[in-house]
Amino acid sequence: MHKWLSVVGIGEDGLPGLSQVAYSLVERADILVGGSRHLSMLPENDPRKKIIWSSPIAISVEEIIQHRGQSVCILASGDPMCFGIGVTLTRRIPICEITIIPAPSAFSLACARLGWALQEVETLSLAARPISLLHPVIYPGARLLILSEGRNTPSVVAQTLVDRGFGSSKITVLEYMGGQREHIAKGIADEWETTQIASLNTIAVECIADADILQLPRIAGLPDIAYHHDGQLTKREVRAMTLAALAPIPGQTLWDIGAGCGSISVEWMRTHPRCWAIAIEQNYPRLNYIADNAASLGTPNLRIIHGEAPAALQGLEPPDAIFIGGGATAERIFDTCWQALRTGGRLVANAVTVESEQKLIEWHNQVGGSLTRIAIQRAQPVGKFLGWKAMVPVTQWVVVKQ
């Protein structure tokens, strides 16, 4: 199949700013696709067929595929492969059928205006995405570049920074970069009052922390107070050991069975933006705890399933790792999990009751692995002195599927 589809990145300077190659692709196309803003850059008397992006955009993608073999050109903003339409298209159409001509991305333009090194900047998009994605990249000294959803996004970002204890952070809003209307607005997060912002803007943030904030590291073992829960929480020390045994790897998926408040799922996903997790919990009120923790700790894409394993596991994407934190005594739970687990995958199960510990020993006898007894003691006041108070011991079974 020849390259029938082209994706041309356009800057704020419009068609005159295109290279000769990019302009020729636009000129030769039989069908043009884009948003109203981009299609309005064409001459008013242009007779060719136009497709305006639909909502959801998948409808337009399917319409484009129906024109396979014709010459189709998509007009896109900046770099189509940077949070752009090119990413969506290459999931459905082989790259061997597509020509992509990028213009400078908003991130590149912003770095050029600010004098920032792009490779040292945290980049993300809040266009049609939850604000909670901002949480993992807020840390002292961080430089953020954010693709905005609209004119209200800078205010939402400023308020999020204040709520996180980063009210002194410097905010720069860059509007219409690369065009004649280019404008820059600056301010401080806790003083941000600028409302006259263009809908097309990119936000730059220099994160400055308040003196007394609670730092939340990316590594496993967040403080217990970081979570909302009803007592069903894997404690910090055990959680850190459990995540170490699960060994999160980018691109892999975890099943968190008996998720409780979701702490294992959340910390699995916090290790890397491409670590995915599915939290399965049968206690309905706890689903709210999982959702709250996922949002506040920066993992809004955690998938939450209400149901009891093993029935709730049917039809789920095969996992690369499984954690059984509750329900070890459920009928056929191990058989179902072991069959679903990918070869080379890890299964970790924690038990605090005698009955669930017996199950772990049975499973160990079947397929091997390692058994560990985790006994943690924390110093607590005893009158005027300190004494050791033991937490409930945890038996942990870890096995790799060969």
Of 57, 82, 103, at which residue does a domain stop?
103
List pLDDT tens digits, range 67-95.
Answer: 999 999 999 999 999 999 999 999 999 99
Average pLDDT, the chain: 95
List pLDDT tens digits, range 153-168.
Answer: 999 999 999 999 999 9
The stretch 234-263 carries a mean pLDDT of 96
* One domain, residues 62 and 120: no
* One domain, residues 22 and 153: no
Of 72, 103, 134, at which residue does a domain stop?
103
Query: Per the structure block, which two tokens stand in for 353?
Result: 């009751």
pTM, two decimals, is 0.87
Helix (H, G, I), strand (E, B) or coil at 16: helix
Residue 297, domain CATH: 3.40.50.150
Provide the number of structural domains found in the chain.
3
Give the model's confidence band at 2: pLDDT under 50 very low, under 70 low, under 90 confident, else very high. confident
Contact 34, 74 (CB under 8 A): yes
- pLDDT of 214 reads 78
* One domain, residues 130 and 114: yes
* One domain, residues 258 and 154: no
Assigned domain for 323 exists: yes
* One domain, residues 249 and 301: yes
* One domain, residues 22 and 136: no
CA distance 25 to 34: 14
The stretch 280-288 carries a mean pLDDT of 95
CA distance 283 to 289: 11
Assigned domain for 215 exists: no
- pLDDT of 356 reads 96
Helix (H, G, I), strand (E, B) or coil at 212: coil
Assigned domain for 57 exists: yes
The percent of residues above 90 in pLDDT, for the chain, comes to 93
- pLDDT of 232 reads 87
The stretch 141-152 carries a mean pLDDT of 96
For helices 354-367 and 333-340, what crossing angle results, to 10°? 40
CB atoms under 10 Å from CB of 62, counted, come to 11
Of 67, 82, 103, at which residue does a domain stop?
103
Assigned domain for 213 exists: no
Assigned domain for 211 exists: no
- The range of the structural domain enclosing residue 36 comes to 5-103
CA distance 265 to 259: 7
- pLDDT of 1 reads 63
* One domain, residues 270 and 388: yes
Assigned domain for 212 exists: no
CA distance 156 to 150: 10
- pLDDT of 346 reads 98
* One domain, residues 276 and 380: yes
* One domain, residues 16 and 83: yes
Task: Tell me: pLDDT of 288 over 70.
Answer: yes
CA distance 224 to 219: 14
Give the model's confidence band at 52: pLDDT under 50 very low, under 70 low, under 90 confident, else very high. very high
Strand order in the sheet with 98-101: 49-52, 31-34, 72-77, 5-10, 98-101
Assigned domain for 302 exists: yes
Query: Per the structure block, which two tokens stand in for 309?
Result: 């394993």
* One domain, residues 79 and 118: no
* One domain, residues 129 and 62: no
Task: Tell me: pLDDT of 194 over 90.
Answer: no
Which residue is listed with tokens 């994605």? Answer: 133
Residue 83, domain CATH: 3.40.1010.10
- pLDDT of 231 reads 87
Assigned domain for 217 exists: no
* One domain, residues 263 and 381: yes
How distant, in Å, are the alpha carbons of 104, 247, 270, 310, 391 from that of 250?
Answer: 28, 10, 11, 26, 32
Return the amino acid letter for 212.
Answer: D
The percent of residues above 70 in pLDDT, for the chain, comes to 100
CA distance 39 to 373: 65
